[in-house]
Amino acid sequence: MSVDEAWEKIERWIAQQAPEEDPLPGPCSKLQLDQLYDRIGVQLPEDVEQSLLRHNGSGLTDIIPIGYRLHSVQDIESKHLGSLRYRLEVDQYRPGNHSRLIVPIAELNVSQLVVDTRTGRLGSWHPEEVGYEWSDDSIWCSLSNVLEFVGNVLASPPPWIARLPDGTVSEATNADIDFPGTLVWTDD
């Protein structure tokens, strides 16, 4: 499934099931991507780029279970350069430090969903922990895999249950007490 096909499923669910959800941001421009690459010194994998060219982040919408919000081009730049300084200081003595090639593309509170620009693999980074966490589960091998997974969950009949390979279960709901009519991922 392509990034656009996955987004179509996600957008359809939001339009039908979450009428109170803030509109997803429009696309970034190719010029914005080129400027991002000039500033961070590395190019994003093609599927991350395609996602940004469809939606420049996800705004306030938690797209990825367990509640990650996708970064805009501007957020990617600021999160990458800001966290890079910290990561280089903490990891400076580790052999093979490739922190510049690891770029944050989404966040859940202070935790960052990162992409290894060499492989497209997704992982996580938390400022209070040293190093990155990478899963061997195939869902995290690329952003396109994650978006396909989310699109398929949301295109299925309710309940919309996301069973992640690590055993985490998250349910998409539009009936959250605090945010009715929006897309919310719950863990109960």
Q: State the Cα–Cα distance between residues 150 and 153, nearest whole angstrom.
A: 5
Least confident residue range of 27-31, 79-83, 105-109: 79-83
Considering the entire predicted model, what is its pTM?
A: 0.91
Residues 161-177: tens digit of each pLDDT: 999 888 889 999 999 99
Q: State the Cα–Cα distance between residues 139 and 165, nearest whole angstrom.
A: 8
pLDDT band with cut points at 50, 70 and 90 for residue 187: confident
Where in the sequence is the domain holding 144, given as residue range(s)?
3-158
Does 77 reside within a domain? yes
How many domains does one find in the chain? 1
Q: State the Cα–Cα distance between residues 89 and 44, nearest whole angstrom.
A: 23
Taking a C-beta distance cutoff of 8 angstroms, is the pair 4, 50 a contact?
yes
CATH code, domain carrying 149: 3.40.1580.10
Residues 4-13: tens digit of each pLDDT: 999 999 999 9
Does 120 reside within a domain? yes
